[in-house]
Amino acid sequence: MKSIKHLIVTIYLIAFNQLTAQYTDEINTNRPGNSAGAFSVGKKVLQVEAGVYYANESHSVLNYDANGFGVDLTTRYGLLKEELELSLDLQFQMDQYTTGIFKKNRNGLRQTTLGGKYLFYDPFKAKEKKPNIYSWRANHKFDWKRLIPAISGYVGVNYTMNNDYAIPDELTLSPKAMLITQHHLDRRWVIVANFFADKIISKTFNYGYIITVTYGINEKWSAMLENRGIKGNYYSDGIFTVGGTYLLNKNLQLDASISKNIKSTPDLLYGGVGVSWRLDKNHQDPKIKEGKEVKEVKKEEKKKSKTGILSEEELDKAAEKAERKKKKNEKNKIEEVKPVEEKKKRVDDLEESGN
């Protein structure tokens, strides 16, 4: 009976550890939504998130239509610390703009933003909650501490190019700032909220929010619903996005989404597919102790045989070490003798010249 109980406890602990590891072991991507998660990709980790989309835009007052395709690309890199991330966001679009009898083919970068994000608070660094092996209810009841979110801050700069999508008199450079929160309500539900101020000091300044709700269907599939609210002097709107993702492996994820706004000035419809890829071979998991990252000091340990008798491999290493030491000593001896011989030669030369 005791052995069965121990087996059940062991299986439960293994399952618990695997579930909690899902937050860090798998790719952490912002696609297919428009919000940014609170967590960075990790120190020395490079991540690329890209997609292609179809765009349909019409305006009931200005009486124009625009149809075309675009590519969006986000490159993220973890720099210096686990909490710090640099990112570059690019969006290129090409479409046909029609108003009345006038038609024009447009193309160019619609967005170029360089910024950095820092994780100020991570609730998962706190002391890990251990399972209660005596109470099923204690292990499955809602943990109110999960309402405390991870919190990050983002600052960046927009670079506006003079192309078909540029707004007259818009500033070339303009700042962007954002507060990011991320709640893990349980192992399936995640809520991300962004509160942003974009193109600050520019005539196209706008502010708003993005709320993204993600549900993990199983280990591979997940679904998301997002609402974005924008308020500005030049443009205000509300946009809804629905999408899903499929995890091919821990470093590769596919996604698809469709977006629709609530206005007709303009009326927007977007649909696209994308992929996220991560390169993490240089990343090392930090050691966390009592909620703080601990730097480990590497020490070279000498391997010794348990019996006290050196193995064949250890004998070979010892012989190589002795040979290197012998060569080094001989080299030093030669270098010491050489100056004496040169000095003696110079004395002999002087004596011969004197004679």
Per-residue pLDDT of the chain (355 residues; tens, 9 = 90+): 444 444 434 433 333 333 333 334 788 899 999 999 999 998 899 999 999 999 999 998 888 999 999 999 999 999 888 899 999 999 999 999 998 888 999 999 999 999 999 999 988 776 556 665 556 565 656 666 778 899 999 999 999 998 989 888 889 999 999 999 999 888 889 999 999 999 999 989 999 999 999 999 998 999 999 999 999 988 899 999 999 999 999 999 999 999 999 988 899 999 999 999 999 887 666 655 554 555 554 444 444 444 555 566 667 777 777 777 777 777 666 655 555 566 566 656 656 665 5
d(CA 227, CA 34): 9
d(CA 50, CA 89): 10
**And the tokens for 149?**
């979110």
d(CA 243, CA 267): 20
CATH class of 22-297: mainly beta
> Could you tell me the residue ranges of all domains in the chain?
22-297
How far does Cα 101 stand from its chain's mean position?
47
Tell whether omega for the bond before 32 is within 30 degrees of 0, i.e. cis.
Answer: yes
**And the tokens for 221?**
């599939």
Q: How many C-alpha atoms does 240 have within 13 Å on its Cβ side?
A: 5
At a CB cut-off of 8 Å and minimum separation 6, what does 249 contact? none
Q: Report the predicted TM-score, pTM, of the whole model to 2 decimal places.
A: 0.71
